[in-house]
Amino acid sequence: MSRTVATASDLVRIEVEDGIATVRIDRPSMNPLSIEVQDALGEAARLVGDDDEVAAVVLYGGEKVFAAGADIKEMQDMSYPDMVRRAPVIQECFSAVARIPKPVVAAIEGYALGAGNELALCADFRVAASDARLGQPEILLGVIPGAGGSQRLARLVGPARAKDLVFTGRMVDASEALEMGLVDRVCDPGQAHATALEMVRGYVGGPALALRAAKEAVDRGLDGDLETGLAIEAMQFASVFATRDREIGMRSFVEQGPGKAEFTGR
């Protein structure tokens, strides 16, 4: 059974089917990420994060383009004081996507540029059509990435490769993006959404709280030193011993062997 979850904007909608939520950007023709879209993405992230019927999330911009960047026409007349106020809000909207406590895949068709690429960086995994193009072209406008690109990109592909993309503003094709680790899988054009659904389908019916703990341990651990990361892991590891799924999983393993547990998400 499928259902649609409304957000405050018609430009971003949530479609839930078989435990997987697709957060769809729908602002033809290039899905520019305007203030309205940014705010709606933050709202959508919170909605799918709080929805117990959602086990995993796919970020999608449609069959032609993921998102070709921010709305430059909207930004053109913004002043320094305007952006001092707005920049933290942009980052918070994108961070809300990064903090969705469930597996998230970005399904990339066409272009994922600037803020579009920064949105994809908020996902746990990225699948790109073979003809997709990704990059951070902000330098060509005389600015720099402002929605996490200088930070998440460097953490994902390393500082030298991040600087190459940010300093030059060049686009990379799907094969180069795969080679550098910017995307995790390449598929035929028009198949990004289907491939993303395939990637996350196995999480439906899984131990939701353990998945949440694992994601938080990895993400928060990367923000500090090894000792801090290990402390976070120990805390999350201990926390899952309070879940029903831990009891189910261990009992099933002892009695039936691995891979046969039927989890409840509790």
Neighbouring residues of 57: CB distance < 8 A, sequence distance ≥ 6: 20, 21, 22, 23, 48, 100, 102, 103, 104, 105, 200
Does residue 6 carry a pLDDT above 90?
no
Residue 107's beta-bridge partner residues?
A: 60, 127
Tell me the average pLDDT across 99-126. 98
pTM: 0.94
Tell me the average pLDDT across 64-83. 94
Cα 56 to Cα 108: distance, rounded to the nearest angstrom: 17
* pLDDT number for residue 259: 87
- Per-residue pLDDT tens digits for 240-257: 999 999 999 999 999 999
Q: Catalytic pick from 43, 53, 118, 216?
A: 118
Question: With bands split at pLDDT 50, 70 and 90, how would you rate the model's confidence at 223?
Answer: confident
Question: Domains in the chain, ordered, with CATH?
Answer: 2-203 (3.90.226.10), 208-256 (1.10.12.10)
Q: Catalytic pick from 138, 233, 255, 262?
A: 138
Does residue 1 carry a pLDDT above 80?
no
Does 233 participate in catalysis according to the annotation?
Answer: no
Does residue 95 carry a pLDDT above 90?
yes
Does 255 participate in catalysis according to the annotation?
Answer: no
Apex 220 CA angle, 123 and 265, nearest 5: 70
DSSP at 218 = H
Average pLDDT score over the chain: 95
Residue 70's beta-bridge partner residues?
A: 33
